[in-house]
Chain A
Amino acid sequence: MGLENPFVPYLATLKSAVDLTPDVKLLGVELENSAEKASFDYKPGQFALLSAFGEGEAPFGIVSLSRHGDGLEFAVRRIGTVTNALHELELGDVLGVRGPFGNYFPLEDYVGKNMVIIGGGIGMAPLRPVINQILEQRDNYQDLLIINGARTPQDLVFAPEFKTWMEAPRTKLELTVDRGDEHWGERVALVPDVVKEVAPSPDNAIAITCGPPIMIHYTLIVLKELGFKDNQIVTTLEAKMKCGLGKCARCNVGDKYVCQDGPVFTLEQISQFLEQP
């Protein structure tokens, strides 16, 4: 018998599936083996590879917090063959999980700082556990500013949680969409423009951003204009990934592998090698 094969996923069961937006589902997943379940510990920012057997495997940020209940949560947008298959799963169906992989947001290093969280579309997924952990340890941090954009009001992924976020102490939530509707009372603007308008101060602050490449690109420009240094800007990258183990050699940004050295990077670490969108 050979060695343990790191490509073989843990078997898991789909426990819940909630529609967050017309194309995003929140999947609740529970590992079947109790020992595996007990040892599956992770931090905000880490990801796992989910398998829809027969269709394939793709990486997803884990949007729940470790040790909160039994399950893992993933916000999955229906966009390709694997996500399509994951959306089609029914409760009780088997899927595969490998992980947790990658690094995480070093939230303990940010204690005492002002936190600026900027997310667009499904890019809010890896930021949700960051926000929830900050809220859980609210006294450890100074002001929390969340800027969340989406294409339309229906596409705001974590809308059910906005109330909790808004009501938290010293927390501000700014919402924006590309196209509003008749019920929409908030901004209709692009995320980078909102960042410019809200103009968070770089003093004692950390900005964490995730979203579509084009949004990240312009948000970084605005943050720099506001005086944020490369080591104050943190982003989490999405990349095509086949192994999660630093072997298949495709998710690199310059000399960093997103799956091993990332997905969380300071701009300082990767600015030389970022491809222009």
Chain B
Amino acid sequence: MDSELIQQIRYQARDLLESGTVKGVIGYERASDGLTARPFFAYEPAAVERLIFDETCSHNLARYLVDKKNEKMAVVVKPCDSRAINLLLNEEQIKRDMVFVIGVTCPGVVETSWNHKDEELQARCKTCQLVEPPVYDFLANGEAVERPQGEPYLDVQQMETKPITERKAFWSEQFDRCIRCYACRQVCPGCYCPECFVEQLNPLWVGIRIAPKENELWQIMRAFHLAGRCIGCDECERVCPVDIPLSLLNRKLEKEVKELFDFQAGLNPEEQPPLATFKKEEKLGFEE
């Protein structure tokens, strides 16, 4: 654990709470396993001593800003997480002056589950280009980290080249396993609708059955509603209790969005997500 980094976070958090600048600080604390991290809400200056930061801090805490949109909060974010703040700003879900962003320079995080952490960095960290968050008010500067720069879409490309029947079979098998717990949605900073289409009764888009057809509709539409909006934190995949490879789905759309519209979500709060805008002159492969 980088104790210098933690001291910076705690110092800043204490200052914000003592001065009354924010009502609370959303950060990480040690989980009940004594090994990994969990989200923590500090409301008292004394509570900042519980704040930590290390390679097990996978959670994207920007997700909580929508719950707390009426109170000024500080939030600890890695570079990837901070893209969600830009997304939420762009979509007017939060106000910039209601958030104090404590950015951290990220050493990358590892795959964790309760009482377990991997040695290796998460796949997304191995291809991550961001060292500093694109948005922050205070930057906690950790040790400089050299990170392997990999090709981010290798697995997507492999999937693309499989025969169509194999792709169909692969995804059917994955979606069949879904138990519709909606953890992927609940953890997602981009999924903030007060009423999700999947739960709407009128029109009844999907229905309650936990069964292959309904699961497929849910999973495909969840991914599509995040097309050009997914910031790639892969939290949905981390929390999935039945290990559906959601990132492999999300990053297909991310890749296409990049190729078609030269856009990456959450890098700039001013830029509109591609499905919220258009260019008159583009053809996108459709004959006129």
Contact = CB atoms under 8 A, between A and B. Distances in A.
A and B touch in the complex (CB under 8 A): yes
B134 to A, nearest CB: 42
B202 interface: yes
Main secondary structure on chain B at its contact with chain A? loop
B201 interface: yes
Interface string B199-210: 001100000000
Interface in B156-212: 201-202
A81 B203 CA distance: 10
Q: How many B residues touch the partner, as a band?
A: under 10
Contacts of B201: 80-81
Interface in A57-85: 80-81
Nearest to A84: B202
A109 to B, nearest CB: 40
B172 to A, nearest CB: 28
Interface in A63-114: 80-81
Nearest to B202: A81
A80 B202 CA distance: 9
Contacts of A81: 201-202
A232 B256 CA distance: 67
A180 to B, nearest CB: 33
Contacts of B202: 81
Nearest to B204: A81
Nearest to A81: B201
A227 B264 CA distance: 65
A80 B200 CA distance: 12
Nearest to A56: B201
A236 B49 CA distance: 49
A191 to B, nearest CB: 30
A4 to B, nearest CB: 25
A240 to B, nearest CB: 12
Nearest to A80: B201
B90 to A, nearest CB: 34
Interface string B259-281: 00000000000000000000000
A88 to B, nearest CB: 13
Contacts of A80: 201
A81 B201 CA distance: 7
Nearest to B201: A81
B198 to A, nearest CB: 16
B89 to A, nearest CB: 33
Interface string B202-234: 100000000000000000000000000000000
A206 B201 CA distance: 40
B200 to A, nearest CB: 10
A135 to B, nearest CB: 39
B209 to A, nearest CB: 14
B146 to A, nearest CB: 53
A80 B201 CA distance: 9
A42 B188 CA distance: 49
3 contacts: A80-B201, A81-B201, A81-B202
Interface of B: 201-202
For the complex of A and B, 3 pairs with smallest distance between CB atoms: A81-B201, A81-B202, A80-B201
